[in-house]
Amino acid sequence: MEQFLASLAFIVLYGGTYGAVLFIISVGLVMTMGLMRVPNLAHGAFAALGGYLTILLMNQAGMHYFVAVPAAVILVAALGALAERAIYVRLYNIPELDQILLTVGIAFIFVGGLALTFGPNVFTIRLPEVLSGSVDLFGRSFPVYRVFLLAVGALIILGFWLVFDRTTLGAKLRAAVDNRSMAQATGINVERIVMLAFAAGTGLAALGGAIGAGLFPLEPLYPIKYLTIILIIVALSGFGNIKSSIVVAMVVGIADTAARYYLPELGGFAIYALVIAAVAMRPAGMFARQG
Amino acid sequence: MFELKRKLAAFAAVTALVVGLPVTAGAQDQIKVGILSHDTGPFAQNGRGFHRGIEVYQALHGKSAGGREIEFVYRDIGGPNPAVGKRLAEELIVREKVHILGGFALSSEALAVGPIVEQTKTPAITFIASSPSVLAGSQYFLKSGQHIAQSSSAGATFARKQGAEKCYIVVSDYQPGYDAQKAFRKTFESAGGQIVGEVRVPLNTVDFAAIVEGIASTETDCINVFVPPGAPAIGLLRALAERGLVESNFVVGMGEAEDHILPQYDDSVVGFKGALYYAEALDNEENKTFIAKLKELYGPDTQPDFASASAYDGAHLIYEMVKSQEGKDWSGPDAVEAVKGLSWNGVRGPMKIDPETRELVQNIYLREVQKVDGKLQNAIVDQLEAVEAPSKEWMEN
């Protein structure tokens, strides 16, 4: 029994941290898919860029981890805003296949660019002293880094809740997701909201790429390699459904960890079974409003 | 079906003709070597090692041997794609008219190219591909890497020597993983040890914490790992270290923590061991010269690795083959025959081509990650001398 409880605590805590990183990386795409209806397959590239920029700022500019990460996030968010105005704005009214071709092309440009700039090797980000120890939680030792990931995840969720439910900007954003032309008709500057949301989404991806580097090591193929799991979160969440993406990311993280713990050899595929079942039963998203 | 066979036969005849032509034209003064490399994609680190190893060898030994100029041409396979490897090998032989093939980071590439090598009688040297079945693909295959069981079995021998009793094996769920797992298990058990758990981890694994948690709940004093280099190796080692298992167990792998990868780890990797045919810290003349030239050509921070060391030793083998044909018309089969039984001192120490099996007889070194003057590096803590590759029967039973 004790053994069982210990393993349960492990699964919830480790699965939870995995889910938290998945949420931070994917939520931007969930949001922009809802707003723009563009499957931005280059989303993972912004996450990778966040991680690589953090390394660059730490190694070249000598910044501390806790300075380099926010700086990288802000830089990537600015780049996201720029990319939205320069490239993505042209995609809203073209066929979906063209959108996919263009965004996957951007992802490949990033893959090549990262390989050229940083070389083919895997990079991990050196954690500051504060994050590299471990603490005792639920009767076992647990890396501080994982607690940090959970805390950041919780903060982001809190931030989303505040912005969405408590601010006018959040109300406008929800309106734009639900009915773009109606929102436009009531005088909401949807274009500006889309740009802000895109910047926030790419910024969050960058945050996930930077602080999640301990779980998802940085390598040039990052944008393509983790695209599947990001798209799984998006597909199960439903377009623009941020609240459900929190639950979905946690379910995916915990289910994946549990399956790998109990069935190490088949566990890697459990997540795909979950996706097939969920999509077959609730194609609009696991927790989508039924209508 | 017959149609296809006829086409294949016709293709083989044409290739043989094209490749055969220069032979009848008399002794030519240039030997072209085609290297199947990886300049992009997940194995680009190996490809970079190939380029560097060969370039260092040429910088030290000149660009000709046995009265012939030697020219290397490279092709990028760009990922785990044996079909592309095969097409590029065909292109190198038919269009570029190379006399020798080299490279081969993956065994699947060597297996795909085997029939072409056999048909065109082109000597081919695999730098890394270490599957037991590689050499069976053609009688014109030679190696400058290893047979995977040489390192895996040595890992088990080292573990027993250090008193390990109960070992857990973690390998990636693909053929090289199975081969490594089998060799380690057989050697460890026949030396009186006990395997308390084995797991094959899917290649798509990102977070290894769950796998490691399973190991931690088993009573072990030794863990054997074999996962592809890059993200999987780093992910697994970090998870093991994070759980304190590197400290409490004899953890042995192969090339997961070479010197050039060490900056990606923190101090928790101290104590990790790798059993392999090459070690950066080897104190022999060849290795010292090799590393000095490597640093001169690519900068003082450049580190050697097993890929560049294998390419360097492979380049030596190529030069020896060309020398053996001095003053004669080039014959691939004769060149292969001439180097069977050859022994020399490579950057890895003494090595010999077993004339019967064409496998290498070489030392296997046990390296351990240590912290010296605040810097992580691998030190050689033990070695097995003149390790032979196991027989086909041993691997199969």
pLDDT tens digits, one per residue of A132-174: 878 877 667 788 999 999 999 999 999 988 988 889 988 888 8
pLDDT confidence of residue B168: 96
pLDDT range class, residue A265, cuts 50, 70, 90: confident
Residues of A in contact with B244 (CB under 8 A): 141
Whether the per-residue pLDDT at B264 is higher than 50: the answer is: yes
pLDDT single digits (tens) B289-344: 999 999 999 999 899 999 999 999 999 999 999 999 999 999 999 999 999 999 99
Residues of B in contact with A134 (CB under 8 A): 242
pLDDT single digits (tens) B164-174: 999 999 999 88
pLDDT confidence of residue A67: 95
Burial class (CB in 10 A: 0-12, 13-18, 19+), A139: exposed
Inspect the interface and report whether the beta carbons of A127 and B266 lie closer than 8 Å. Answer: yes
pLDDT confidence of residue A267: 74
- Out of A126, A214, A257, name the one closest to residue B210 (CB): A257
Residues of B in contact with A229 (CB under 8 A): 206
Structural domain includes residue A129: yes
pLDDT confidence of residue A271: 85
- Tell me which fold the domain B2-146+284-358 belongs to: Rossmann fold (3.40.50)
Burial class (CB in 10 A: 0-12, 13-18, 19+), B126: buried
Residue A136's Cβ-side half-sphere holds a number of Cα atoms within 13 Å equal to 2
Residues of A in contact with B207 (CB under 8 A): 14, 18, 215, 256-257, 260
Span B44-62, average pLDDT: 94
Inspect the interface and report whether the beta carbons of B202 and A219 lie closer than 8 Å. Answer: no
Structural domain includes residue A273: yes
- Give alpha helix (H) positions in A37-95: 43-59, 65-86
Which residue of chain A has the CA closest to B174?
Answer: A265
pLDDT confidence of residue B24: 41
Q: CB under 8 Å to B135, separation ≥6 — which residues?
A: B141, B142, B143, B357, B358, B359
Whether the per-residue pLDDT at A103 is higher than 70: the answer is: yes
Inspect the interface and report whether the beta carbons of A121 and B210 lie closer than 8 Å. Answer: no
What distances in angstroms separate CA B141 from CA B48, B337, B359, one per listed residue? Answer: 22, 11, 10
Q: Is the dihedral of CA A245, A247, A249, A252 positive or negative?
A: negative
Inspect the interface and report whether the beta carbons of B264 and A217 lie closer than 8 Å. Answer: yes
pLDDT confidence of residue A291: 43
CB-based contacts of B115-120 (< 8 A; 24+ apart in sequence): B116/B15, B116/B86, B116/B89, B116/B90, B117/B89, B117/B141, B119/B12, B119/B15, B119/B16, B120/B15, B120/B16, B120/B19, B120/B93
Q: Which of A148-152, B153-157, B200-204 has the lowest mean pLDDT?
A: B200-204
| The pair of three-digit structure tokens given for residue A215, joined into one six-digit string | 């779980």
Number of domains in chain A: 1
Structural domain includes residue A290: no
pLDDT confidence of residue A214: 85
Span A39-54, average pLDDT: 95
User: In residues, how long is chain B?
Assistant: 397
Inspect the interface and report whether the beta carbons of A132 and B206 lie closer than 8 Å. Answer: no
The domains of chain B are located at 2-146+284-358, 149-276+363-396
Residues of A in contact with B45 (CB under 8 A): 120-121
> Which of B198, B206, B260, B375 to mutate against chain A (most A CBs within 10 Å)?
B206
Enclosing domain of residue A255:
2-281
> Which of B38, B211, B264, B375 to mutate against chain A (most A CBs within 10 Å)?
B264
Q: What CATH number did the domain enclosing A31 receive?
A: 1.10.3470
pLDDT confidence of residue B16: 54
pLDDT range class, residue A93, cuts 50, 70, 90: confident
- CA A180, A186, A192, A193: dihedral to nearest 10 degrees? -60
ipTM above 0.85? no
| Spatial CA neighbour of B352 closest among B313, B325, B393, B311 | B313
pLDDT confidence of residue B3: 56
pLDDT confidence of residue A53: 96
- Out of A123, A229, A268, name the one closest to residue B264 (CB): A123
Strands B100-103 and B30-37, by their bridges, are parallel
Inspect the interface and report whether the beta carbons of B202 and A221 lie closer than 8 Å. Answer: no
Q: How far is B130 from chain A (nearest CA, A)?
A: 22
| Spatial CA neighbour of A69 closest among A125, A31, A141 | A125
- CA-atom Rg of chain A in angstroms: 19
Inspect the interface and report whether the beta carbons of B207 and A221 lie closer than 8 Å. Answer: no
Same fold, B2-146+284-358 and B149-276+363-396: yes
The CATH H-level superfamily of B149-276+363-396 is Response regulator (3.40.50.2300)
Instruction: List b or e across A3-34, with b for residues whose CB sees 16 or more CB atoms inside 10 angstroms.
Output: eeeebeebbbbbbbbbbbbbbbbbbbbbbbbb
Inspect the interface and report whether the beta carbons of B42 and A121 lie closer than 8 Å. Answer: no
> What is the rounded average pLDDT for all residues in chain A?
88
Are B144 and B344 in contact, with CB atoms under 8 Å apart? no
Q: How far is A35 from chain B (nearest CA, A)?
A: 30
Inspect the interface and report whether the beta carbons of B207 and A214 lie closer than 8 Å. Answer: no
Inspect the interface and report whether the beta carbons of A217 and B266 lie closer than 8 Å. Answer: no
Structural domain includes residue A287: no
- Out of A120, A216, A265, name the one closest to residue B199 (CB): A265
